[in-house]
C-alpha cells in the first residue's frame, strides 16, 4: 500500500498537472464558456482552433450542410453524417473504446464507443444550434433529440426508455441517470473515461484525468471510487 508521504507527493504532482487545465477552462479573462469544439482541442493539448485544420471534420460539416439544404430531417442527417459519411463503427473492445473518446481520435480511427460518437454528435448540434441531449446510464450514454432516443453504438437505433432500463438494470445506478448532462458534466465524464483508459497502465496519468473529471462533474461518485482504487494499488500497477 502507498505510504502517506508518497500519496501526498502524488497528489501534489496531480495538483500541478491539473492547474493548467483549470486555468484553460476557468481563466478569469475568458468571458464565455468553451464550446465542445474548443474543448476537444484543449483535451488533446492543441490550439482551440484545431478543428479548422481537420479535413475530415470540414468535409463532414460541408456534407451536413448539403443535407440541410435538401431539407432533410435533422436526426436522419446526423445519422448519415456519423455512420455513412464518417463511417463510424462501434468498438467492441470496451478497453480500446476508452482510448477513442476525443473527436479527433474517433475521426482518425473510425471506431468509438458511446462517448466518442456522442461528443462528435454534440459538436455538430452545438455548431448548428439544435437541441441534442446526452443521457447517462450505468457505463453508457445515449442521445435524445426532441424526445427521440438515438443509440450511438447501434447506428442511431431508437431504443425506448423501457428497453434501456431493462438492458442496464444490473448496472450501478447513481441517481444521475435519465437526466440530460450539461456540457460541463459531459466533458467531466469524458475525462473520467479517459482516466479509466490509463487506470492500470499509467496510474498517475489516470489520477490527473480523474482530478479534472472531479472538477467538471463533482456529483459523479465513480470518480472518487476509481481515485481511491488507483491510490490504493499504485505500487502494484507500476
Separation between Cα atoms, residue 210 and residue 195, nearest integer Å: 6
List pLDDT tens digits, range 127-149: 999 999 999 999 999 999 999 99
Residue 25's pLDDT band, with cuts at 50, 70 and 90, is low
Between 151 and 23, the more confident residue is 151
Residue 73 vs residues 42, 43, 133: alpha-carbon distances, Å: 32, 32, 17
Q: How many CB atoms are closer than 10 A to CB 71? A: 7
What pLDDT shows up at residue 210? 95
Q: How big is the chain, counted in residues?
A: 238
pLDDT band at 234 (very low <50, low <70, confident <90, very high): confident
Give percent of the chain with pLDDT exceeding 90.
Answer: 67
What count of other Cβ atoms lies within 10 Å of the Cβ of residue 25?
Answer: 18
Predicted TM-score (pTM) of this structure: 0.85
CB distance 177 to 136 below 8 Å? yes
pLDDT digits 0-9 by tens, 199-229: 888 899 999 999 999 999 999 999 999 999 9
- What single-letter DSSP state applies at residue 85? I
Judge contact between 185 and 212, C-beta under 8 A.
no
What is the rounded CA–CA span in Å between residue 108 and residue 86?
10
* pLDDT at 100 (0 to 100): 79
> How much is the mean pLDDT over the chain?
86
pLDDT at residue 95 is higher than 80: no
**Hey, how many other C-beta atoms are within 10 angstroms of the C-beta on 209?**
27
47-51, 89-93, 176-180, 182-186: the lowest-pLDDT one: 89-93
**Residue 159 binned pLDDT confidence (cut-offs 50, 70, 90):** very high
- Which residue bears the cell 501534489? 12
Q: Is residue 27 scored above 70 in pLDDT? A: no
Amino acid at each position: 500500500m502507498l505510504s502517506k508521504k508518497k500519496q501526498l507527493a502524488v497528489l501534489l504532482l496531480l495538483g500541478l498537472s491539473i492547474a493548467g487545465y483549470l486555468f484553460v477552462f476557468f481563466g478569469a479573462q475568458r468571458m464565455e464558456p468553451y464550446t465542445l469544439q474548443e474543448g476537444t482541442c484543449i483535451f488533446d493539448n492543441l490550439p482551440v482552433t484545431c478543428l479548422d485544420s481537420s479535413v475530415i471534420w470540414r468535409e463532414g460539416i460541408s456534407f451536413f450542410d448539403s443535407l440541410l439544404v435538401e431539407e432533410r430531417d435533422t436526426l436522419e442527417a446526423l445519422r448519415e453524417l456519423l455512420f455513412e459519411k464518417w463511417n463510424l463503427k462501434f468498438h467492441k473492445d470496451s478497453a480500446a473504446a476508452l482510448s477513442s473518446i476525443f473527436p479527433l481520435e474517433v475521426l482518425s480511427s473510425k471506431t468509438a464507443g458511446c462517448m466518442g460518437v456522442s461528443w462528435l454528435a454534440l459538436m455538430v448540434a452545438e455548431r448548428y444550434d439544435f437541441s441534442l441531449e446526452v443521457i447517462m446510464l450505468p457505463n453508457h450514454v445515449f442521445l435524445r433529440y426532441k424526445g427521440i432516443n438515438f443509440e450511438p453504438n447501434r447506428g442511431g437505433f431508437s431504443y425506448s426508455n423501457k428497453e434501456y432500463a431493462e438492458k442496464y438494470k444490473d448496472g450501478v445506478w447513481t441517481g444521475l441517470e435519465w437526466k440530460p448532462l450539461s456540457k460541463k458534466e459531459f466533458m467531466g465524464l469524458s475525462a473520467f473515461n479517459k482516466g479509466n483508459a490509463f487506470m492500470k497502465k499509467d496510474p498517475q496519468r489516470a489520477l490527473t484525468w480523474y482530478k479534472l473529471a472531479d472538477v467538471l462533474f463533482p456529483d459523479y461518485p465513480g470518480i472518487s471510487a476509481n481515485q481511491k482504487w488507483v491510490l490504493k494499488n499504485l505500487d502494484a500497477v507500476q
